[in-house]
Amino acid sequence: MLFSCHFRKAFAAVTVSLLLLCCGLYVSSLYAQMGGGGMGGGGGTGNMPGMGSGSFSSLMTDGMGGMMLLSGGRPFHSDGTIVTLAEATDIARRFVAARNQPNLALDEIEEWEYNFYVVVKETDSSNKAFQLVIDKWTGGVMPEPGPNMMWNAKYFGGGIMRGEMMGGFSRPNANMTVTPDAAALAANQFLGQRFAPARRLAVATPPDSFHGYYCFDVNDVATGKKYGMLSVNGTTGQVWYHTWHGNFIQGQELN
């Protein structure tokens, strides 16, 4: 049983690393095509398509800790200790400030087993803008993979990656026809099919509403504690469970 537990954790870490590596290589390649700096090097001045007027070069520069990779990269602390919640919050604040878009602000930050999760909100609307992940060892920051990069119709879905690039994923659409209640129903049906009867899970409402999808916290019904998170496409009702965070540790509201 102990070996099985360690194996599952190791497999999860490797899976997350490969996923983020693929995302990172794609972003780096596209950025280079637009005349920007290389991974970990000095930033260029080009803007990423679909990202508005703010420069995305801070994602690539030494000042932001380099490209995020879970199993490599330059350590944030020379002694190898992990990034603290306060340090991750400062990294996220500098990332948002570097975009020079006054309508963007940090909403919340959470520490998970494998990374920090950050929500950036729009101050001039009721919508959240996008999500970030910060590596706990390097301090590197990048867009959260998954729905944030595939379904975000305003900030990422129409620029860095388009939904039609991978089979089974819908084209990003900001005109959401699925209501929050319908999204919660689809999410809970998914959780029941995937986890029951071994574990009873349910989403917390209301969800965070992004441009093209909803994001829900997933709670353990028996303990009331946060267990994970998932997203629901605002047009198709498709459910995407976030498998890359690990166990929840702590969180902080920043609004």
Structure pTM?
Answer: 0.72
* pLDDT tens column, 67-96: 333 445 789 999 989 999 999 999 999 999
Residue 101 banded pLDDT, cuts 50, 70, 90: very high
pLDDT confidence of residue 156: 78
Q: What is the residue-averaged pLDDT of the chain?
A: 76
Number of neighbouring beta carbons within 10 Å of residue 163: 21
For residue 36, pLDDT beyond 50: no
First to last CA, the chain: 42
CB within 8 A of 68, min separation 6: which ones?
A: 20, 24, 115, 133, 134, 135, 138, 140, 141, 142
* pLDDT tens column, 120-179: 999 999 999 999 999 999 999 999 999 999 999 999 755 434 434 444 445 567 789 999
CB within 8 A of 183, min separation 6: which ones?
A: 207, 214, 216, 232, 234, 237
Can you say whether the dihedral through the CA atoms of 11, 230, 112, 29 is positive or negative?
positive
Measured CA distances, 128 to 143, 207, 211 (Å): 14, 10, 8
Tokens at 84, concatenated:
């603290």
For residue 238, pLDDT beyond 60: yes
pLDDT confidence of residue 45: 26
Question: For residues 167 and 239, what is the distance between their CA atoms, to the nearest angstrom?
Answer: 15
Question: For residues 90 and 72, what is the distance between their CA atoms, to the nearest angstrom?
Answer: 21
Helices (H), 34-176: 85-98, 147-150
pLDDT confidence of residue 140: 95
Domains in the chain with CATH codes: 2-144 (no CATH), 180-250 (3.10.450)
* Torsion angles phi and psi, residue 155, rounded to 5: -105, -35
* pLDDT tens column, 174-193: 789 999 999 999 999 999 99
Question: For residues 118 and 85, what is the distance between their CA atoms, to the nearest angstrom?
Answer: 11
CA nearest to 26, candidates 109, 141, 149, 164: 149
Question: For residues 187 and 218, what is the distance between their CA atoms, to the nearest angstrom?
Answer: 9
CA nearest to 233, candidates 154, 120, 151: 151
- Tokens 């605002």 appear where? 234
Number of neighbouring beta carbons within 10 Å of residue 173: 19
- Tokens 């290589």 appear where? 25
Contact 108, 130 (CB under 8 A): no
Contact 241, 93 (CB under 8 A): no
For residue 60, pLDDT beyond 60: no
* Torsion angles phi and psi, residue 119, rounded to 5: -110, 125
